[in-house]
Chains A and B, each alone.
Chain A
């Protein structure tokens, strides 16, 4: 973690440029389509583009909410901080704990998928053929990333930027060649008319589509390390949100309407559409973008060689962001007395939060064991088939990923609404559009209609997840319950309020946040707003 020891305590350096901020988010969220595309095509079939559309619209609302909050409160705590400030400590803990679930899943899921993409060039790594080798390589990657983070090696912003730029160019080329030479609208309409999924599968597909849009915490993490974040973050975030949405919608439409460059036939020798290679085939689901790229005319000959490598690298960067992201969120939660102070402890030699990194990496390994178990041992496989609809490892991880994201994002929307009502004086350089003017406690506030729409959307996805994910609905709530017990025990031990919030001086905190961010004009504006508000309140009494 980049830290300096100026002032009262350790603090993150503000050295991230606008492109660096975009690349940071892109390497986090941009990698998701590599995982999500195959899973959604497998379940939502002819309605995959609709599943992506629904999840994409919800994602735009979430992205706008994060942009406003990160620009107003540029601290690394992200969703957990916004919710704690808006709704109180216990809800802040729940949101943060759900984000921590996502970060640990992120480590395993993306390391798993990175190996799946590698298997396109190295068939020995195919999970269904060599499950133990696949498991061992994923485990080695998770352990390796843990060690790298403990000794303080993190991929540089420049490397992130380079890989992100390469991926944007690569995806644009794949889509251009695909739409120009292989896209047949009649195939898309045929797939939508004749392969429309059942309502259950559509709900499952839609909840998996949100997997393609997870990682917006990176916006707030970038805000903490960007100079003048209130000005920079909205510019880069809007580009990021739209880029990811465009890729997701374009890929899903192309996949449904793609006339394969090389004929695809099933076991009986019948010609298949491209998307039909994904249902009931976990190996293909894990490397969908590489398979699609190889089927794009002309460019596919070249893309088949480099897309698996590019995908594997991008996914590994995303996996790494899970390792340091979890330790960073735990650090922030610990600073707010939501988690024990042990998660703030920094290694004497390496200056990294070693305990935090090792703790959450161990959880990631436990999740990996649960995910890999059915493939590794037939008796576990039959157990999963009996109780959990035979979910494969990738689906298990995606289940929990969707649950964690939907839970934390739901709270972030509520936190945004609460902060608009309770903290109208903080200057907001970026506001999500569509607001209703109201007067609350003598202050003029703007009620965010988009946040309500977004909340309804993400809450629906949470319900879809609970309804359709056999493992997610058990492990997800169990994770939250376990966390709540730990939280209550810790708060009781520290003699802090259990269900109520600790007293905090948010005014002083906000002045400090804006000063540290270099937003001195906003700080002055905030102080002036406070004085004017206090004068208004004092006026009737004098």
Chain B
């Protein structure tokens, strides 16, 4: 179960990095990318948070 959760968290981080990279590549669009940048950053943050919880759970096992 922990492995599945870790894969999902990894996928979240990957999605966040992809969105962030695409947004940063389209900076010429200006203000329009701001919401996407925050979305990408939030996905990475959630993924990292989930991974840290999984690591804590593994340490306690």
Residues of A within 8 A of B (CB): 49-50, 52-53, 56-57, 185, 188-189, 192-193, 235, 238-239, 242-243, 245-246, 249-250, 252-253
What residues on B are CB-neighbors of A49 within 8 Å?
35
Contact B39 A246 (CB under 8 A): yes
Interface of B is mostly: helix
Chain B: CB-nearest residue to A52: B35
Q: Could you show 9 A-B contacts with beta carbons less than 8 Å apart?
A: A50-B35, A53-B34, A56-B38, A189-B29, A189-B32, A192-B32, A239-B53, A246-B39, A246-B46
Chain B: CB-nearest residue to A189: B32
CB distance from B19 to the nearest CB of A (A): 9
Contact B35 A242 (CB under 8 A): no
Contact A239 B38 (CB under 8 A): no
| Known A185-B26, A189-B29, A235-B53: A53·B35 in contact at CB below 8 Å | yes
What residues on B are CB-neighbors of A192 within 8 Å?
31-32
What residues on A are CB-neighbors of B29 within 8 Å?
185, 189
Separation of A359 and B29 alpha carbons in the complex (Å): 53
Contact B45 A242 (CB under 8 A): yes
Interface size counted on chain B using CB atoms at 8 A? 16
- Most chain B CB neighbours (cut-off 10 Å) among A238, A239, A246: A246
What residues on A are CB-neighbors of B26 within 8 Å?
185
Tell me, yes or no, whether B42 is within 8 Å of chain A by CB.
yes
- The number of A-B residue pairs with CB atoms under 8 Å apart is 45
| Known A185-B26, A245-B42, A246-B43: A239·B35 in contact at CB below 8 Å | no
Tell me, yes or no, whether B10 is within 8 Å of chain A by CB.
no
Contact B50 A246 (CB under 8 A): no
CB distance from A102 to the nearest CB of B (A): 25
Separation of A239 and B47 alpha carbons in the complex (Å): 9
Contact A253 B45 (CB under 8 A): no
Separation of A192 and B29 alpha carbons in the complex (Å): 10
**Binary per-residue interface labels of chain B (22-61) against chain A in the complex, 1 for a CB within 8 Å, 0 otherwise:** 0000100101101110110011011001100100000000
What residues on A are CB-neighbors of B50 within 8 Å?
239
Chain A: CB-nearest residue to B45: A242
